[in-house]
A and B are shown apart, each in its own frame.
Chain A
Amino acid sequence: MDISYIFVISLMLALCSSQAESKQKSGRGRGSMWWGIAKVGEPNNMSPITTGIMYMDPAIHSTLRRKQRRLVRDNPGVLGALVKGANLAISECQHQFRNRRWNCSTRNFLRGKNLFGKIVDRGCRETGFIYAITSAAVTHSIARACSEGTIESCTCDYSHQSRSPQANHQAGSVAGVRDWEWGGCSDNIGFGFKFSREFVDTGERGRNLREKMNLHNNEAGRAHVQAEMRQECKCHGMSGSCTVKTCWMRLANFRVIGDNLKARFDGATRVQVSNSLRQSANAVAVVSPNAAMGSNSNGGSNGLLQSAVSVYEEEERMLNDHMPDLLLDNTHLSSKIHHPNMPSPNSLPMAGARSRNGRRQGRKHNRYHFQLNPHNPEHKPPGSKDIVYLEPSPSFCEKNLRHGILGTHGRQCNETSLGVDGCGLMCCGRGYRRDEVIVVERCACTFHWCCEVKCKLCRTKKVIYTCL
């Protein structure tokens, strides 16, 4: 009796979950609607975009989730950086994919729909890349905006474990100024990472495989920004000697990060649902039984067991894994030393953020802690910087609006190339057209300081090949 009862229950649960899955199908990229922010302020082409106008834009309400709106409201100036970041991601994606059949087009964007189209509904490589590059771009762009001074709420979170005693007793604002006077402020890059996690990962709870894929790719994007940071030092002791040395982190150009992500795209790992865990009712089912193999060596504990791991440990491990101290260290890189005083990624200036207790924080971090299983068991499990995907990509040859594919009709191709940008592959064997155009360019320019530039106009003939 008991056995049949359990059977019925599990059947019902399985049914429920499959129903839920099918319901969610349309909104698979739940956390990705914010990409539409790239088009904020575009129709009237206001430049420079003033924040006042941007807040009025209804696009904000249609694209941002509640928590995201709160973040934007509580951090003045962040919206401009987010718009810049989203556009940076789009242009970088289009640059990296200019020679491929799928060219990261956002042409058929409609309000209320996903920016990159329906392709995002599928868990293919391209989707993984979009997630990674947008998350990286937000990190990069927020950190940049902090150093440009356009976001005023960037934290000065240099942890003074031994600040002057008066500063401890003084009210918030005075203490902040005293902090700056006493020990300076940290690099801005840490804020970019924290903000990106808070903002980009909203809505990705890591409850199903697709959400885990998104989370992994978001983290991978940030990991690439971090990996490309370089430390710079300047000696300024007695007579310029190195008795006193100050070091800081320098962000790489986003093009370099795009290059690296494209390389990861080419070597992306296909992950799958692990069989052993599929029966589990809530279908989290991404956790490999041998999770310790990955870079996050969490000693065999898997996603399902994580609630058993103490919150503090989990949080600490999280911070070690994903936010090395070097981001938050003030002047000196010390990647091997863990900082106990490092602020948690939740410490963004956000109403109510501080009132949250540790328990909540711990649970939030848990969502990053999983290990995905490669589709092909002979492959390595994906590392923290790898892009993962769930299903093979469509061919992208023909227009298919149901799947959000534009096709390669009318795309330019390279006649001599044998690669993907060659006319043979790009046009999927449909053939191509040859056109001669005359391009007028400015050339042979002479400069005079100040402030004249004189150029000639040069006409050059160019041959363009276009797919039929």
Chain B
Amino acid sequence: MSGTILENLSGRKLSILVGSLLLCQVLCFLLGGLYAPVPAGHTNVLGSLCRENHARQNDTSFFLYSRGEGSCTQVTREEVEQDSMKLANQIVHVFQMPLPRDSRVLDYSRWQQNLIGVLQVEFGYDSSSELREPPKELQLTIDMRLAYRNKGDPDHAWKLYAHGVEHRYLDCVAAHIGSSETLYTCDMIPLFELGALHHSFYLLNLRFPLDTPKQMNLQFGHMHDLTLTAIHQNGGFTHVWLMLKTLLFPFVVGIMVWFWRRVHLLQRSPALLEYMLLYLGGALTFLNLPLEYLSLTIEMPYMLLLSDIRQGIFYAMLLSFWLVFAGEHMLIQDSHNKSTIRSRYWKHLSAVVVGCISLFVFDISERGVQLRNPFYSIWTTPLGAKVAMSFILLAGVSAAVYFLFLCYMISKVFKNIGDKRTSLPSMSQARRLHYEGLIYRFKFLMLATLLCAALTVTGFIMGQMAEGQWKWNDDVEIQLTSAFLTGVYGMWNIYIFALLILYAPSHKQWPTMHHSDETTQSNENIVASAASEEIEFSNLPSDSNPSEISSLTSFTRKVAFE
């Protein structure tokens, strides 16, 4: 049996394949850049002030709302300013989403997937009060009630979604220092995260209880404007994203089936790299699976967590694959056993495992807990922020270790190839040409990987720098963020698609195949054309190794042996 398709493919066919894949890549990029809107939209909602209904204060089925029939009696800012106590404990801040636009009542669509709320706080200290400056760790206690209502429900039919009394720490700077009042503007605080935007309307009631015995919220002067920013995924982006997933899913599944059938046609058991490729394809298929369709009918609050996990599994698999790929071409032949993850790579992969586990723990403690309490965020407490930061730091360190190690391994592979190159001139013309071609193709694949990684990184940086659109000309505008997301997503799909094709075992028989006595040796086929030097190759111990996947591997192994 011969080696992989990559080695046996003619230059023309290879270029056609690469060209068409590149075309697909460009299409993916343009799909996001030209067709899709920005990934996320937002609504800035200024809190309306409603007078508290003290009789039903503790009733969590009672909600105050600012628009629609039966809305609350609103308090103006002037009334608050004029009251000597600033209406302490008598005001409820009400946020009703989404806002009406173009004289129409808008509602959230399930295509908009998720909702993230952040709050911006402004408060002031009177010159008469003894407090003039906020303390270092300014703790705010908020009684939060989130309610929902569906299209067609009566205006008052708000139902409780979540209720919580939460603490947030504020970081504020003085915006205005005057003789009568000092105003402070605070950094935004995370308020809630909903993994499923299942209902049409949402309502948030915020209360800031002032309590002397419990020392609650006493360090605040009085609230000025509260602005809630509700961020949702754009429906158009979900459309495009799902379209991409639905398109890619059958292709990757199909190519995986094809690949596995090819491997099984061989007489030998599948090699490690082939297993790795299959796992990688599996992880990608899991990522491609358009589960989001379900969220259009079923409420799936775990969607955010699930998509994180799916992405995490895929990236972990990809990183592991690169290591194994480099390792399999390492040419060190310490044992004649078939190499497995456990026997050879568990040490190499420990960085990936540690990084993934720490990110997973972080995600569980943030988005996992949010499944129970949407108001929870690990970042809100100083201790939680430290814990979260240390997990992320751990993940970062293991990523750095991983990449250093990967670079080391790749440089070693290149060094070995370089060593062999010096001995190339002493070979016959045909063999030399063939080896040079092999090295070229190996490098080609390395280059492709590097290119993909580089494109991801530059795309990310560009998306961050340009922030939004990039204008081609007056008519064409490219949404960089969306283009980056669809482009990168399509790119890794295409990359793995190409790997599955090019690394599938080739069924092409070399003309001199029968010439060799040992049948399963791929290197035989390569060197067959150089018949005069056959003896040199035929009796090598590495030849008996059944795990070899490509002739290049065996070629390089032989080099090491020499």
Work out how many contacts link A and B, with CB atoms closer than 8 A: 238
How many Å from the CB of B172 to the closest CB on chain A?
13
Binds A, one of B19-27, B225-233, B436-444, B550-558: B225-233
Chain B residues with CB under 8 Å of A242's CB are: 464
Q: Of B178, B466, B467, which contacts A247 at CB under 8 A?
A: B467
Instruction: Answer whether residue B209 sits at the interface, using C-beta atoms and an 8 A cutoff.
Output: yes
Within 8 A of B (CB), among A260-309: none
Asked if B225 and A253 sit within 8 Å, CB to CB, the answer is yes
Chain B residues with CB under 8 Å of A153's CB are: 102-103
Asked if A329 and B468 sit within 8 Å, CB to CB, the answer is yes
Bound Cα distance from A185 to B99, whole angstroms: 10
Q: Of A148, A161, A340, A446, which contacts B66 at CB under 8 A?
A: A148
Instruction: Answer whether residue B112 sits at the interface, using C-beta atoms and an 8 A cutoff.
Output: yes
Binds A, one of B32-40, B250-258, B503-511: B32-40
Chain A residues with CB under 8 Å of B99's CB are: 146-147, 149, 154, 185, 188
How many Å from the CB of A449 to the closest CB on chain B?
4
How many Å from the CB of B69 to the closest CB on chain A?
15
Asked if B57 and A147 sit within 8 Å, CB to CB, the answer is no
Instruction: Answer whether residue B43 sits at the interface, using C-beta atoms and an 8 A cutoff.
Output: yes
Asked if A185 and B43 sit within 8 Å, CB to CB, the answer is yes
Bits for B221-251, please: 1 = Cβ < 8 Å to A, else 0: 0001101010110111001000000000000
Asked if A331 and B38 sit within 8 Å, CB to CB, the answer is yes
Chain B residues with CB under 8 Å of A156's CB are: 101-102, 106
Q: Of A155, A234, A445, which contacts B85 at CB under 8 A?
A: A445
Instruction: Answer whether residue B354 sits at the interface, using C-beta atoms and an 8 A cutoff.
Output: no
Instruction: Answer whether residue A351 sits at the interface, using C-beta atoms and an 8 A cutoff.
Output: no
Bound Cα distance from A191 to B359, whole angstroms: 42
Q: Of B96, B111, B216, B236, which contacts A149 at CB under 8 A?
A: B96
Are A147 and B104 also in contact (CB < 8 A) when A87-B78, A184-B232, A243-B460 are? no
Bound Cα distance from A447 to B216, whole angstroms: 9
Instruction: Answer whether residue A395 sits at the interface, using C-beta atoms and an 8 A cutoff.
Output: no
How many Å from the CB of B53 to the closest CB on chain A?
10
Bound Cα distance from A250 to B88, whole angstroms: 26
Bound Cα distance from A180 to B101, whole angstroms: 9
Asked if A238 and B109 sit within 8 Å, CB to CB, the answer is no
Instruction: Answer whether residue B211 sits at the interface, using C-beta atoms and an 8 A cutoff.
Output: yes
Which residue on A lies nearest to B97, using beta carbons? A149
How many Å from the CB of A253 to the closest CB on chain B?
6
Chain A residues with CB under 8 Å of B112's CB are: 181
How many Å from the CB of B159 to the closest CB on chain A?
20
Bound Cα distance from A466 to B460, whole angstroms: 65
Instruction: Answer whether residue A441 sits at the interface, using C-beta atoms and an 8 A cutoff.
Output: yes
Chain B residues with CB under 8 Å of A247's CB are: 467
Asked if B212 and A446 sit within 8 Å, CB to CB, the answer is yes
Within 8 A of B (CB), among A239-266: 239-240, 242-248, 250, 252-253, 255-256, 259
Which residue on A lies nearest to B57, using beta carbons? A450
How many Å from the CB of B158 to the closest CB on chain A?
16
Bound Cα distance from A256 to B177, whole angstroms: 9
Instruction: Answer whether residue A451 sits at the interface, using C-beta atoms and an 8 A cutoff.
Output: yes
Asked if A248 and B42 sit within 8 Å, CB to CB, the answer is yes
Bound Cα distance from A445 to B89, whole angstroms: 13
Number of A residues contacting the other chain (C-beta, 8 Å)? 77
Q: Of A246, A341, A445, A450, which contacts B40 at CB under 8 A?
A: A246
Asked if A183 and B38 sit within 8 Å, CB to CB, the answer is yes
Bits for B271-315, please: 1 = Cβ < 8 Å to A, else 0: 000000000000000000000000000000000000110011000
Chain B residues with CB under 8 Å of A448's CB are: 211-213
Asked if A239 and B74 sit within 8 Å, CB to CB, the answer is no
Q: Of B74, B101, B218, B227, which contacts A250 at CB under 8 A?
A: B227
How many Å from the CB of B186 to the closest CB on chain A?
11
Asked if B103 and A451 sit within 8 Å, CB to CB, the answer is no
Bound Cα distance from A451 to B58, whole angstroms: 11
Chain B residues with CB under 8 Å of A250's CB are: 44, 120, 227
Asked if A236 and B236 sit within 8 Å, CB to CB, the answer is no
Instruction: Answer whether residue A459 sits at the interface, using C-beta atoms and an 8 A cutoff.
Output: no
Bound Cα distance from A339 to B473, whole angstroms: 10
How many Å from the CB of B545 to the closest CB on chain A?
40
Are A180 and B469 also in contact (CB < 8 A) when A185-B43, A447-B89 are? no
Within 8 A of B (CB), among A323-364: 329-334, 337-341, 349
Main secondary structure of the interface of B (DSSP, over half): mixed
Which residue on B lies nearest to A446, using beta carbons? B212
Asked if A442 and B89 sit within 8 Å, CB to CB, the answer is no
Bound Cα distance from A349 to B48, whole angstroms: 25
Instruction: Answer whether residue A152 sits at the interface, using C-beta atoms and an 8 A cutoff.
Output: yes
Bound Cα distance from A180 to B235, whole angstroms: 8
Asked if B41 and A184 sit within 8 Å, CB to CB, the answer is yes
Bits for B53-73, please: 1 = Cβ < 8 Å to A, else 0: 010011000000011000001
Chain A residues with CB under 8 Å of B44's CB are: 147, 187-188, 248, 250
Are A185 and B475 also in contact (CB < 8 A) when A149-B96, A164-B239, A238-B311 are? no
Bound Cα distance from A234 to B35, whole angstroms: 24
Chain A residues with CB under 8 Å of B318's CB are: none
Bound Cα distance from A383 to B72, whole angstroms: 45
Asked if B239 and A152 sit within 8 Å, CB to CB, the answer is no
Asked if A246 and B475 sit within 8 Å, CB to CB, the answer is no
Which residue on A lies nearest to B89, using beta carbons? A451
Chain A residues with CB under 8 Å of B176's CB are: 253, 255-256, 259
Asked if A177 and B106 sit within 8 Å, CB to CB, the answer is yes
Bound Cα distance from A446 to B52, whole angstroms: 19
Chain B residues with CB under 8 Å of A148's CB are: 45-48, 66
Within 8 A of B (CB), among A170-228: 173, 176-177, 180-185, 187-188
Bits for B439-466, please: 1 = Cβ < 8 Å to A, else 0: 0000000000000000000001001101
Chain A residues with CB under 8 Å of B514's CB are: none
Instruction: Answer whether residue A47 sits at the interface, using C-beta atoms and an 8 A cutoff.
Output: yes
Chain A residues with CB under 8 Å of B96's CB are: 149
Instruction: Answer whether residue A45 sits at the interface, using C-beta atoms and an 8 A cutoff.
Output: no
With A48-B74, A337-B469, A442-B84 known, 9 other A-B pairs at CB within 8 A are A47-B76, A162-B479, A181-B236, A182-B239, A238-B311, A240-B366, A256-B175, A448-B213, A450-B58
Which A residues contact B (CB, under 8 angstroms)? 47-48, 76, 84, 87, 91, 95, 144, 146-149, 152-156, 158, 160-164, 173, 176-177, 180-185, 187-188, 232, 234, 236, 238-240, 242-248, 250, 252-253, 255-256, 259, 329-334, 337-341, 349, 441-442, 445-453, 455
**Can you report 5 A-B residue pairs in the complex whose CB atoms are below 8 A from each other?**
A147-B45, A182-B234, A245-B481, A248-B44, A449-B89
